[in-house]
Chains A and B, each alone.
Chain A
């Protein structure tokens, strides 16, 4: 079998493993099967990346030639995303075990099956070159995610999952309507084919409507301000393990689909004719400011980080709205970097929840003494979120600032700077509590979490610094992918 023949197994491995996993009893077996499937997915996508950077890879399902059958088409952009998603899943798994044991004590087989389905869905969205197939995988990942969120132990989890379900379904429906319109106008669902045929009908109301539907649908999925309302509750109430995985992958995949649709399918010229740039720039900037300011007042660490995610999506939207290679590269690199930093931050908070059972900001008081490694990891990942030099977050900030300054957009520069400073404030609340305040009286001794929670956490923290210094894999690939997307027809 060649590399291309292995390609679909990125998606198939978790998809096949999921039903088996659901039937497995106990705790150990489902976890091990999940680990095997995820490792398989990660290995293949890691193997794909270098090849995909060279030239796009294409796999036709059932040997139906592409415009007719479903095609998996992987270039620098999706290969990077595929590696990111599967790697995050792989890193999260060892961390998950204890946390899931504590938060989802029973029926872990179905839980891990849902996790696998969510992963399969996300990988599918990233790999496929078919606009309708995206919808199918979007639903697979979303439905399993709703169920995962509902596993949260608090009552709010059900309400949040329900809210997420409504908004997510709305988003998917909007997307589907858009794709339907495109199919009516062009008679194809293959993305490359769509890109070739849209210019002929670009001036019709139906295609413009399709663009708007797709953008709103995806805007809901990626939690773009003001369509973000589902996100904080879902992140805060889901089991910690789910939050770690969701926060670093789910919205990123929606960003990817939007990039692919805007640049790969509709094309940059089409986007320029629509008020895409203005709307996304304003919403992105508003998201940064609103999300960051909201984050400051949140009572719990998870909600705070969730609002911070709304802000980070704002950065990505802002970067993409510049409609330049530099801007697109900045957006893409932040997709990767944000996954690394948010994953680490949620892992650290998850570790605190594992020990304390709570994550209210006040409960972090004095924790630096009792959980020094976890809190140090939190602080270091926090530096990356702020965008301090030598971290991955700085690379994103630099790329975004450079793209904005090249275009002379000084207001964007101001918003980005404001975002960093607001991040200092909301993260500072926890740092100050953990280091500068004494532990509350009456709290028993708190033990540091064990090796299996530390290792993945620190792996992500180190990745944050690694990709802050050596950016060939992140910024390099992102720039290449951006050039590819913008250069792709028309």
Chain B
């Protein structure tokens, strides 16, 4: 890649590259090898582009530009700050990995309509990049909606009754949140503050009373249905009808992280931590997030479908981030940002494993996994690593973020949050460890229909990589933590 001359152009390229990729993919559908090759090249290019933004964002004057101005004074604008930078890096890296995985999955599974599948996948990534780089709420909303709509064809990919029903719930809940809660919240913000720019320190202080501010924050937190805070979580289990690469990247990383990312941005750059501390009703949302953490874990305990179990685990983990953001302690904010990354590596590994199990053995239920660790050792070791990260056991990524969140809870003397974290750790262990136990320490009850080994090699490579990353992050988390801490320096 050429050296970064104009970071703003660079940012535009981050949107254009995946879209161009989508176009190329749809044009070359007749030659699957060319198509898949192009997809890998696109994903790699995007990641390289994202790494090129690190320096200008951290050491330059920031990266911002205006794309268009649909309303007087209110533009479609990009403005990359540290939080968004981490998100672009994360999503683009994992897209590359998921592409490798998806090629194995779609081919191994002989899925129909692979070309539109990969094309919409690329569009979703473009939308994710847009969300990450948004300079104001309007821009964020635009890309947020593009993300909702471009993932619908992926969720309904199988085109059977289950897919149609899942697709309805998916769109229904997400659009309910955006049109009924999020959009009014954004227009309200614009009406009150006269701007929707993400500004360090927030834009609402002194412009809105505490009680309306609490209502506004509630609209934001619930309206951002992608963050799946209860009761807006129903779309996430419904989305599990999608092929597993979608569940892995979009519904464990890109889409849901776009949700919590929105909430983080709103808390830090729209309300501002200092202002929110003076909004007493904010506490109710902490309780709501805490409730989501616990109850989603309880529901996960009872799930027998692997992917549904993972979906409920995701709901629970997302609310960790919301919870941490709303604790309003500096260390907890860092923890929230770090957990975006930590959870991503662990959860994508788990989904990769679920997909690998499905492709190799067509098994989808927890109770079918007895002894599968012997047939698929790589996959199940990776699964165990992902599970440990969800529980928060060292040496995995999950421990790092949990550490910061707990430290933040102490900083704020928040015993409720501590209690939630402890209870949820126990619950996570209660539903993940039995699976690991089954896979390695039980005997296969009866021989499977097909005598299988590991899934196709691209899948194994991908899940090994993310599992390794989950462990590596335990040691090499310094850059991420450092970038996240800048968010707070800037907003002070």
Contact = CB atoms under 8 A, between A and B. Distances in A.
A410 to B, nearest CB: 8
B164 A436 contact: yes
A398 B68 CA distance: 16
Given A424-B175, A470-B70, A397 B183 contact: yes
Interface residues of B, number: 31
A398 B168 contact: no
Q: Which of B153, B156, B172, B183 has the most CB of A within 10 A?
A: B183
B146 to A, nearest CB: 8
B159 A436 contact: yes
B187 A417 contact: no
B171 interface: yes
B179 interface: yes
B180 A421 contact: yes
A478 to B, nearest CB: 12
Interface string A455-480: 00000000000001111000110000
Nearest to B116: A435
A469 B76 contact: yes
Nearest to B171: A424
B145 A388 contact: yes
Interface string B134-146: 0000100110011
B145 A428 contact: no
Interface in B135-182: 138, 141-142, 145-146, 149, 153, 156, 159, 163-164, 167-168, 171-172, 175-176, 179-181
A446 interface: no
A144 B68 CA distance: 43
B183 A471 contact: no
B164 A389 contact: no
Nearest to B190: A402
Nearest to A387: B179
Contacts of A424: 171-172, 175
B330 to A, nearest CB: 33
A421 B184 contact: no
A413 interface: yes
A469 B68 contact: yes
A395 B76 CA distance: 13
Interface in A399-415: 401-402, 405-406, 413-414
A247 B186 CA distance: 32
A383 B167 CA distance: 16
Nearest to B157: A436
A390 interface: yes
A50 B348 CA distance: 56
A389 B142 contact: yes
Contacts of A436: 156, 159, 163-164, 167
B180 A398 contact: no
Contact of B164 (A386, A390, A432): A432
B175 to A, nearest CB: 6
B292 to A, nearest CB: 23
Contacts of A476: 72
A201 interface: no
A279 interface: no
B78 to A, nearest CB: 15
A173 interface: no
A420 to B, nearest CB: 4
A402 B188 CA distance: 7
The B contact surface, by secondary structure, is helix
B71 interface: yes
Given A405-B191, A421-B176, A421-B179, A471 B184 contact: no
A180 to B, nearest CB: 43
A485 to B, nearest CB: 19
A420 B179 contact: yes
A274 interface: no
A84 to B, nearest CB: 19
A414 B171 CA distance: 19
Nearest to A471: B70
A20 interface: no
A418 interface: yes
Given A383-B149, A428-B168, A405 B184 contact: yes
Nearest to B183: A401
A219 to B, nearest CB: 28
B171 A428 contact: yes
A397 B141 CA distance: 14
A221 to B, nearest CB: 30
A387 B142 CA distance: 11
Contact of B184 (A389, A406, A417): A417
A417 B171 contact: no
A417 B70 contact: no
Interface string A374-404: 0000000001001111100001011001100
A470 B184 CA distance: 22
Contacts of B184: 401, 405, 413, 417
Interface string B178-211: 0111011001101100000000000000000000
A452 to B, nearest CB: 26
B176 to A, nearest CB: 6
Interface in B378-413: none
Nearest to B187: A401
A437 B160 CA distance: 8
B225 to A, nearest CB: 12
Choose among A383, A398, A424, A432 the residue with the greatest number of B CB atoms under 10 Å from its CB.
Answer: A398
A414 B187 contact: no
A389 B142 CA distance: 5
Contacts of A397: 183
Nearest to A390: B142
B70 A395 contact: yes
B70 A468 contact: yes
Contacts of A413: 184
A436 B76 CA distance: 33
B183 to A, nearest CB: 7
Contact of B180 (A390, A395, A417, A470): A417
B141 A389 contact: yes
B200 to A, nearest CB: 25
B183 A417 contact: yes
Interface in A419-456: 420-421, 424, 428, 432, 435-437
Contacts of B71: 395, 398, 471, 475
Contact of A402 (B142, B167, B187): B187
A402 B167 CA distance: 31
A389 B146 CA distance: 8
B234 to A, nearest CB: 15
Contacts of B142: 389-390
A187 to B, nearest CB: 43
A395 B187 CA distance: 12
A436 B113 CA distance: 12
Contacts of A402: 187, 190-191
B179 A405 contact: no
A436 B154 CA distance: 12
A469 B187 contact: no
Nearest to A420: B179
Contacts of A471: 70-71
Nearest to B215: A410
Given A388-B149, A395-B70, A470-B70, 9 more contacts: A387-B179, A388-B145, A417-B179, A417-B183, A418-B180, A421-B176, A424-B172, A470-B68, A476-B72
Interface of A: 383, 386-390, 395, 397-398, 401-402, 405-406, 413-414, 417-418, 420-421, 424, 428, 432, 435-437, 468-471, 475-476
9 contacts: A387-B179, A389-B138, A397-B183, A406-B191, A428-B168, A435-B159, A436-B164, A469-B68, A475-B71
Interface of B: 68, 70-72, 76, 138, 141-142, 145-146, 149, 153, 156, 159, 163-164, 167-168, 171-172, 175-176, 179-181, 183-184, 187-188, 190-191
